[in-house]
Structure 1
Amino acid sequence: MHLDNEEEEYKLTLSRFESMLKTNKVLFFDSEEFENIILHYLDSGKLTLAKKALKLALEQHPNSTNLKLVEVELLVFQNKLEAADRLLDQIEEVDPSNDEVHIQRATVYSKKGNHQDAVTSLLKALTLTEDLADVHSLLGMEYLLLDEIELAKDSFINCLENDEEDQSALYNVIYCFDFLSEHNEAIDFLTSYIDKKPYSEIAWHQLGRQYYTLKNYTKAVWAFDYATLIDDQFLGAYLEKGKSLEKLKKYKEAIENYVITLELDDPTSYVLLRIGICYEVINNFPQAMEYYKRAVHEDPLLDKGWLALTDISIKEQQYEKALIYLHKAISIDEFNDRYWLRYAVLNKTLLNFKEAEKGYQKAAELGNNIIEHWIGWADTLYVLGQYDDAILKLLQAISFDSENADVLYRLAVLYITINEFEQGTKYLEQALHKDFDKKEIIKSFFPIHWENPFIQNTIKNFN
């Protein structure tokens, strides 16, 4: 009831002031009323009205220290830092023990980038103020700007010790723990905080995040459960719980939690994609396809969504459709080597060998040096009759792994194909020595060469 009366008085004060401006009548306001009026306009971004109110205020209360401090805020807001500094000097001469002088001076220092001086001013303010929580919070921010994360963490903890309700400080202290990779310490801190404030949904949510980071997904779900029990509208907790349940392979429960987030807020492409992935894992391809399509409808530039559609279409052997989706992903991120490799493999499946070769080449240009992919590239060039190029790719591949039997057998076949029997023999003998059983590669991939007397004789002589 008391707060309602204060709010009513505040509104009446604003109404009286604005009425005075319209009628040009000069009404009297006490200094606190003027202070509230000026700060209201400043917070609303109405600089002209704030300045007008300040001018009238100082005319009626020329010796008010609080109004002069509000003037400092106005000068800082306008980035008139030197003028703010001079005014603070004047105020400090009259009232040296005013904590707000040192807090405002810290703000000026911070704006100038002098964060160490800002810290010094705030430490001075700590010895004078009764509002310890706010000053510790400001100190924490300055320490963050100085990359003094440990000191920042201590300041935010001190802030919470003086004001357990300061949610910004709670987020900030956890940020510091995260930055320092002190996840177990964060869990200890949050557990202690929850002992004092068991109904803090934010603390439970942050506790779940720490357990998730440490891959303790069962405990993460437990913590997120409490967060959602305290606040059944806590979208972030449902989302994180869904992610944790995915890690525990509880895909149906994960879907349930993701769906709740869709009911609480507008759908996001990320959540729609996660639901699709869960449905795909449990082999419900129609539902997976539906959510993937919803994801790319929500965000047409979601390349991961188009890729998911590509992969599920491949699983359903709908290769032409898969290629359409893959083109979408590549058009969004043409510098992703993994997309070009899928492009190569998919086109090879569709017997589009020229396009497959293009995919392998693009992937290689983007730095892909996985030997299996270079082997696939060489196989494609072989089909295209580009034997010399295929040999070149295999020689490059063998530089990654000089004893890879798959490469050695292919080199043997290709050299024999172009009638370079000496080189063919060398690589065939190396391959047989490396892995005799893998000679079946020739029978599987190069059946027309399997009965070649030269190859058969080399294999027999090796025995």
Structure 2
Amino acid sequence: MNEQKNTAENTVNKQKDLETAGKTREKEDPKQLLLTASETDNYEDKLRIYDKALGLDPLYFDAWLQKGFVLDRLGRSNEALDCYNKALEIVPDHLGIKCLKGFAYSNLKDYEKAIECYDEVLKVNSEDVFSLFQKGSVLENLGRYGEAMEAYDRALEIDPADILIREKKMRLLGLIYKKGTLVDSPDSDFN
């Protein structure tokens, strides 16, 4: 009798093990792994999950994109750029990745490369408000206030209701007013 009970328990345990293994196999799907990563707020956990997804599918564009984004948020912008470059090998004309590269270069204070990235996007889509805004911010960081103002103005022509751009432009106007001149700026002919 005990033998039958043990056999029944073993069968139930084996069934549970198989069900658990089946659930584990489901999570081995790279898309499922990205869904799992979206459910956690811990960036290190996200990175482990993205690496696992990329181990299963090294050409999984979304995993490269998300991994790059998280790395940039962690201040690891050089590594983020590597991920973005991998993503661009998969989808070479993806404007969003080019824009994210500009953001990463800006975080590294490599402003000229950031501008190149935003200009690349703007060549294809001259109405990309985010790229215009980011380019304006980078130009402002370089002290090229006139060009920054042009970028903000162009962005506001496209989206006049964007409060963030409007605020950024007003701060820049305040800075220009406070200085009283743009003489020390490469754009001194702006006035």
Aligned to 1:201: 30
Structure 2: stretches of 5+ with no match in the other structure: 1-19, 179-191
Aligned to 2:48: 222
Aligned to 1:69: none
Structure 1 residues 194 and 257: CA distance shift in structure 2, 3 A? farther
Distance 2:37 2:24 in 1: 15
Question: How much has 1:193 moved relative to structure 2?
Answer: 5.4
Identical positions, percent: 18
Distance 2:126 2:118 in 1: 11
In the alignment, residue 209 of structure 1 is paired with which amino acid?
S
Q: Does 1:292 align with 2:121?
A: no
Q: Does 1:245 align with 2:71?
A: yes
1:176-187 matches, within 5 Å, as: none
Question: How much has 1:247 moved relative to structure 2?
Answer: 2.3
Structure 1 residues 327 and 192: CA distance shift in structure 2, 3 A? farther
- Spell out, residue by residue over 1:356-405, the C-alpha distance to the aligned partner (whole angstroms, 9 max, x if none): xxxxxxxxxxxxxxxxxxxxxxxxxxxxxxxxxxxxxxxxxxxxxxxxxx
Question: How much has 1:272 moved relative to structure 2?
Answer: 1.2
Three-state SS of the structure 2 residue aligned to 1:232 is: coil
CA contact (8 A) 1:193 1:203 kept: no
In the alignment, residue 323 of structure 1 is paired with which amino acid?
M
1:333 to 130, 145, 159: 159
Aligned to 1:259: 85
Q: Does 1:274 align with 2:100?
A: yes
Structure 1 residues 310 and 198: CA distance shift in structure 2, 3 A? closer
1:258-407 matches, within 5 Å, as: 258-351=84-177
Distance 1:316 1:193 in 2: 55
Distance 2:23 2:75 in 1: 29
Question: How much has 1:233 moved relative to structure 2?
Answer: 1.1
Structure 1 residues 345 and 206: CA distance shift in structure 2, 3 A? closer
Question: How much has 1:195 moved relative to structure 2?
Answer: 2.1
Distance 2:64 2:70 in 1: 10
Distance 1:216 1:192 in 2: 25
Higher RCO structure (Cα 8 Å, ≥6 apart): 2
Distance 1:284 1:274 in 2: 14
2:61 to 235, 243, 256: 235
Three-state SS of the structure 2 residue aligned to 1:317 is: coil
In the alignment, residue 77 of structure 2 is paired with which amino acid?
Y
Distance 1:206 1:192 in 2: 19
1:78-97 matches, within 5 Å, as: none
Aligned to 2:16: none
Structure 1 residues 343 and 197: CA distance shift in structure 2, 3 A? closer
Distance 1:275 1:320 in 2: 24
1:124-163 matches, within 5 Å, as: none
Question: How much has 1:220 moved relative to structure 2?
Answer: 0.7
Structure 1 residues 349 and 197: CA distance shift in structure 2, 3 A? closer
CA contact (8 A) 1:201 1:230 kept: yes
Structure 1 residues 247 and 341: CA distance shift in structure 2, 3 A? closer
Question: How much has 1:278 moved relative to structure 2?
Answer: 0.9
In the alignment, residue 32 of structure 2 is paired with which amino acid?
A
Distance 2:168 2:37 in 1: 36
Q: What RMSD in Å do the two structures reach over aligned CA positions?
A: 2.1
Structure 1 residues 331 and 193: CA distance shift in structure 2, 3 A? farther
- Spell out, residue by residue over 1:23-66, the C-alpha distance to the aligned partner (whole angstroms, 9 max, x if none): xxxxxxxxxxxxxxxxxxxxxxxxxxxxxxxxxxxxxxxxxxxx
CA contact (8 A) 1:209 1:240 kept: no
Three-state SS of the structure 1 residue aligned to 2:39 is: helix
Q: Please, what TM-score do these two structures have when normalized by structure 1?
A: 0.32
In the alignment, residue 295 of structure 1 is paired with which amino acid?
V
Distance 1:349 1:244 in 2: 33
Question: How much has 1:279 moved relative to structure 2?
Answer: 0.9
